[in-house]
Structures are given as C-alpha cells and as structure tokens.
Amino acid sequence: MLAMNQYGESHSVSVLDTEEIWRLLGKNSFGRLVLVVDRRVDIFPINYASSPDRAIIFQTASGTKLAELTVNEKVLFEVDDISSNQAWSVMVRGHAQWLQKSAEIQEAEDLKLRPWVPTLKDHYVRIIPTEISGRRFQFAADSSGDLGEGSRSG
C-alpha cells in the first residue's frame, strides 16, 4: 500500500504476515508490555523470548507487573525496530498466564532468558496471543535518515 508523507511523496507501508511476525519476534529480545488496571495504563520495557508454541515468555520479580497481571490478564505487547531505510512494528494482544507448574517453568527456563540487571526475577509469565499484527514502513529514497527524537529498540 502506498501512503503519502508530510511532503506529498509516496512511501510504502506493508502488512506483515503471521510467519514474518513470528520471525521478527524470534530474532529480537526487547519489547514493551502494556497493562491496564482501573483505567491506569502502565508500560514496562521487558526482555522476552518467543516459545516454539508461539507464545511470548518473560521473567519478572514480585511487584507491580505481577500484581497487575493478577487483576487484569489482558495485555498488549509491542516490539519494533528502526534502521536507516525502514522500520517495523509488531503488536501482540493476548492473555498473560503466570507459570506455576514445574513443567511450564522448565520449558520457560529452557529458553535461556537473561535479565538486563542481576536482580532476582523468579516468576515466568506467558503471553498467549489472541491477535497479532505488524507493519513494515519503507522510508522514502531521499529521506535523510533523521528519525527525530524517538528511541531505537529491537
């Protein structure tokens, strides 16, 4: 699909298929978890792994994330990446499940998640997707590559 930028020039926006979405999720390890409790929205940066059964797994300590997930299991998870000529974004809507059975925990541990900082994160959570979507944005050929004040992740 062609769209117009602020200068009236066309650029490409494409919808990612399911296989491409899972490929991108599988090659990245950083995303954002969105939780809502009592109309309050919280966004948490998390490291994650995608499991062979197409779920998102992350570790967390006892605290805000885990408490909020017990109140409202509906979550949104987002991953993106930006390069000089393109960007992409993937969103996963789903239900969070705190893993408590030994077999589930062992499967999560086999994914070799590594926390960014050496803090105790002794709980595993699985996001079971109910809806996934993704877009790729091809920047205009004459774009200067200046992406503004945004942050880079991936």
The CA distance from 125 to 90, in Å, is 19
**Number of folded domains in the chain?**
1
Domain annotation covers residue 147? no
pTM of structure:
0.81
What is the average per-residue pLDDT within 97-105? 94
**Domain range spanning residue 86?**
2-138
**Is residue 126 in some structural domain?**
yes
Report the mean per-residue pLDDT for the chain: 87
pLDDT in tens, 3-55: 555 655 555 889 999 999 999 999 999 999 999 999 999 999 999 999 999 99
CATH number at residue 56: 2.30.110.10
